[in-house]
Amino acid sequence: MKMRVLLVDDEPLAREGIVFQLRNETDIEIVAECEDGSAAIAAIKRYKPDLVFLDIKMPKVSGFNVIEQIGSANMPLVIFLTAYDEHAVEAFRLNALDYLLKPIDKVRFQESLHKARKQLQKERMSLQGEQLEQLLAAMRNTSKASEPAAPPRIAVKLGGSIQFLLPDELLWVEAEGDYVNVHTTSRSHLVRETMLAMEKRLEPYGFQRIHRSAIVNLASISKLVSADNGDYEVMMSNGLSLKIGRNFREALFSRMKISV
C-alpha cells in the first residue's frame, strides 16, 4: 500500500525540492500540493493523507494553526519544515513525527522518511489488530446472540503475551520515550506504542488526551482544579493530580460538556 503524501509550503521552490527528493520513492503518492494553511486544511479533510510535509511559517494560517484547526487527534503524520531551529521544541510539543531545517539535507530527509514509514506501518498493524479483534467479537456475538453481551476489553501487548483489560481498570496513560505507561487500578504496564495510536484506540472507551504526555479515563476524574494563571488540573479518583495542556483543554471541556 502506497503512502499518501501532502506537501504544504508557501514557497514553490521548497515544494519542488521535496517533489524532487521523492521522485524515486516508488511507495509514495503525492496527493496534493498546497501553498497556504487554509488550502492545507481543506486538502487534509478531502484527501486524508498518511503524511504531511508542513511548513511552519506561512502567512495568515501557520503550520501550527493547521494542526489546531484539524485537531491533533485527527492529524496524519506530520514532518514540519522550518528555517528556524527554535521551532523544533514547539513542533514536538504538538507531536510532530520529525522536523526538517531548510535548506533540506538529503540524508536528514531520508531519515525522516524512514521514520514515517516505520510509524505508518506500526499504526496500520495496530489498526489491523483492532479490526481483527472487532471481527472476532462480531462473530462471537452472532453465534451467541441469546447470551448477554460481554463488556468491552482493551488488548495490551506485554512482551510475548496480550493482556485484556476492562476500560474501568485503566486510570490513565503516560508517555515514556518510545513507550507508554498504562496505569491501572492495581499496577502499571510499560507498552511499546505511541501516544497517538493509544489515543485513537482508547477514545471510543471514554478516554481523552489532556496533555501531550497524558490520556485519562474520563470516568476516573473526580474534579477539575483551576490555577491563578488560568491553567487547569484534573484530580483523579486515586488522588493523582495531572496538568491539562492548554492545547487540549477545549477538547476536554467539550467532551465533558463543560462551559468555562
Considering the domain architecture, whether residues 160 and 249 belong to the same structural domain is answered as yes
Grid cell digits, residue 15? 515544494
Cα–Cα distances (Å) from 136 to 81, 131, 132, 143, 160, in that order, read 42, 9, 6, 11, 21
In whole angstroms, how far apart are CA 73 and each of 16, 200, 202? 29, 7, 12
- The identity of residue 6, as a single letter, is L
* pLDDT range class, residue 187, cuts 50, 70, 90: confident
Exposed, middle or buried by CB within 10 Å (0-12, 13-18, 19+), for 191? middle
Q: Do 109 and 179 have their domain in common?
A: no
User: Does 240 or 161 have the greater pLDDT score?
Assistant: 240
104 assigned to some structural domain: yes
13: Cβ contacts below 8 Å, ≥ 6 apart: none
Looking at residue 228, its amino acid is D
* 226 inside domain: yes
Last residue of a domain, one of 121, 143, 162: 121
Question: What's the pLDDT at 169?
Answer: 86
Cis omega (within 30 of 0) for bond into 76: no
Compute CA distances 115 → 68, 96, 215, 229, whole Å.
23, 11, 24, 38
pTM (2 d.p.): 0.51
pLDDT tens string 119-178: 888 887 676 666 656 666 666 666 555 555 555 677 777 666 787 888 888 899 999 888
Domain of 109: which CATH number? 3.40.50.2300
What is the overall mean pLDDT for the chain? 85
**110 is a domain residue:** yes
Q: Mean pLDDT, to the nearest integer, of 74-97?
A: 75
- For 147-161, how does the pLDDT look when each residue is reduced to its tens digit (9 = 90+)? 555 556 777 776 667
Residues 20 and 116 in one domain: yes
- Domain span holding position 181: 154-255
49 domain residue, yes or no: yes
Considering its fold, how many domains does the chain have in total? 2
Q: Is residue 233 assigned to a domain?
A: yes
